[in-house]
Amino acid sequence: MALLQLERVKKIYGKGDIKVEALRGIDLEIGTGEFSTVFGPSGSGKTTLLNLIGALDKPTEGKVYLNGSSTGEMTKNKLAMLRRENIGFIFQDFNLIPVLTAFENVEFALKIASRNGQPSGERTREILEMVGLGDMMHRRPGELSGGQKQRVAIARALVKAPKLILADEPTANLDSETSKGILEIMGRMNKELNTTFIFSTHDPMVMEYARRLLEIRDGKITRDERRE
């Protein structure tokens, strides 16, 4: 069974006469361990697609199945639980909590996901060392560079060992050298932990790293290419 399945998914924004059809019937299957990129011009529907996959939004029509469960029928709380247990997010603007240190930002995500007891901190340290922030874990986001912030965001997404990580333009605010480093870390995590990654991007460098390319135009997938 595929980790993720979309059936004739449509997303329409607006009411009455003013309607925008952001997605126009998407069919898609993504399996465990895939490293995929969704790309396309601005306004093509990349972010909308990622929001639906990440259970942040519900489709207007069609079904989104994550781990076999349809998100369209879930309550807000169930969607929160689904995200908590299965999905990690990496945002373009990092979205770290400024009053918490790198360690605390990552630990916060782990605590939310931990159903039983409090995490010991060992797992958080391990992940931060894995992304190369072992010596900066007690710095606050304001004391980190853009690349370091994004590495914290990756660690935060990875720490709870989710089945799926969604990254919305993760390199958009980074220079090419830093972007390369970030992509290498994500590629390594994908291989070592078999975590499924889906990116949305404009960045050709990200596309080079991806093993599956999904091109989206005017709300439809126009290209689905796998490569070794």
Which range touches other proteins (CB under 8 A), out of 23-31, 33-41, 89-97, 185-193?
89-97
- Cα separation of 205 and 178, whole Å? 11
Q: Which residue stretch of 17-25, 91-99, 175-183, 195-203 sits at the interface with other proteins (rule: CB under 8 A)?
A: 91-99
Structure tokens at 176: 């090419």
What would the x/- binding string for other proteins be over residues 13 to 42, using CB under 8 A? Answer: ------------------------------
Binding other proteins (rule: CB under 8 A), the pick from 15, 16, 68, 77 is 77
In whole angstroms, how close is the CB of 111 to other proteins at the nearest point? 6
Binds other proteins (CB under 8 A): choice among 16, 68, 98, 204: 98
Using CB under 8 A as the criterion, what x/- string covers residues 155-194 for binding other proteins?
Answer: -x--------------------------------------
Out of 6, 30, 45, 89, point to the residue binding other proteins (CB under 8 A). Answer: 89
Which range in 16-24, 61-69, 111-119, 181-189 contacts other proteins by CB under 8 A?
111-119
Locus of tokens 């070794």? 228
Q: How many CB atoms lie within 10 A of CB 65?
A: 17
- Which of 53/209 has CB closer to other proteins? 53
Q: Determine the interface stretch with other proteins among 2-10, 36-44, 48-56, 210-218 (rule: CB under 8 A).
A: 48-56
Tokens for 201, please give them. 């991007």
Q: Which residue lies nearer to other proteins by CB, 47 or 190?
A: 47
Q: Is 197 in the site for other proteins (CB under 8 A)?
A: no
Question: In the structure encoding, which two tokens stand for residue 53, read together?
Answer: 């996959």
Does position 12 interact with other proteins (CB under 8 A)? The reply is: no
Give the single-character DSSP code of 55: T
* Helix, strand, coil in percent for the chain, rounding step 5: 35, 25, 35
Contact criterion met (CB below 8 Å) for 62 and 100: no
Burial class (CB in 10 A: 0-12, 13-18, 19+), 193: middle
Largest CA distance in the chain: 56
Strand (E) positions, 119-191? 164-168
**Among all chains, which residue has been given the structure tokens 């490569």?**
227
Per the CB < 8 A criterion, the answer to whether 79 and 55 are in contact is: yes
**Contact residues for other proteins (CB under 8 A)?**
47, 51, 54, 56-57, 76-77, 80-85, 87, 89, 91, 93, 95, 97-100, 104, 107-109, 111-113, 156
